[in-house]
Copies of this chain bind each other. A is one copy, B any other.
Amino acid sequence: MTGSTKTPRETPRERYRQQVREEVKEKAWQQIAGSGASALSLNAIAKQMGMSGPALYRYFANRDELITELIRDAYRSLADAFLAVADAGAGRPALPELARVLRRWALADPHRYFLVYGTPVPGYHAPQDITGIASEMMSVLLDACAAAAPEPAPGAEAHAFEAHLADHRDWAEGHPDATPAVLRLAMTFWSRLHGTLSLELAGHFTGMGLDPALLFEAEVDTLTAR
């Protein structure tokens, strides 16, 4: 007795189903790594797995559902990397460490990065649970930013953007104590590092022979040193 509940889990049928789905996604990642997400072919995957075309439609409703699943896994993978840092650092990871984890994750599979942060698919809207994963990451980031403590302003007036953040902080739900400066730091972290990473992975630096890692580190420094 493996303690089967009323919900049809653990049945060997379902186990096999999940196994095939995982194999499909695995082949899909291989294809994406080679030719990008736009060239992903269900037919080719099926042929590669030794079965014929339409069989895959028993496991995924259509191409978009498969891609959505891949995007979800990508988010999950990045979020897990962030959470691992948070756990190791007792919930208050250092900002540079978080940045380096992000870059490592991006370089490990550039196509995966672009699946998350690249050119959006026109009709596509991320399902609810994916935005949930995104806010998990944001939560870790906000903790790290709070630890980085940008000083509660000695006497200088807050930036207009920080004033705006003081009024629009719904996205930082769960961090009611975060100052506008902390919120701004989080957005700046996200935006700046995405800027360098995106340009690097897209190959915009290759022609000019300079080291993207150094630009990245320089931007990280501007985030912490203040």
Instruction: Say whether A214 faces chain B, with CB atoms less than 8 Å apart.
Output: yes
Contacts of A104-142 to chain B: CB distance below 8 A: 114, 117-123, 131
Quick one: CB contact mask for A155-188 with B, threshold 8 Å, 1 for yes?
Answer: 0000111001100101100000000000010011
Interface size class of A (residues with CB under 8 A): 35 or more
In the complex, residue of chain B having the shortest beta-carbon distance to the beta carbon of A33: B122
Instruction: Say whether A38 faces chain B, with CB atoms less than 8 Å apart.
Output: yes
Instruction: Say whether A53 faces chain B, with CB atoms less than 8 Å apart.
Output: no
Copies in the complex: 2
Most buried by B among A118, A194, A203, A219: A194
* Nearest CB in chain B: distance from A10 CB, A: 35
CA distance A194 to B198 in the complex (A): 9
Chain B residues near A160 (CB-CB < 8 A)? 214, 217-218
Q: Decide: A122 and B35 in contact? CB cutoff 8 A.
A: yes
Answer whether A195 and B202 are a contact pair too, CB < 8 Å, given A160-B217, A214-B160, A215-B161. no
Most buried by B among A114, A191, A201, A208: A191
Q: Decide: A214 and B34 in contact? CB cutoff 8 A.
A: no
Identify A188's interface contact among B191, B203, B210, B219, CB under 8 A: B219
Q: Decide: B165 and A210 in contact? CB cutoff 8 A.
A: yes
Quick one: CB contact mask for A4-41 with B, threshold 8 Å, 1 for yes?
Answer: 00000000000000000000000000000011111100
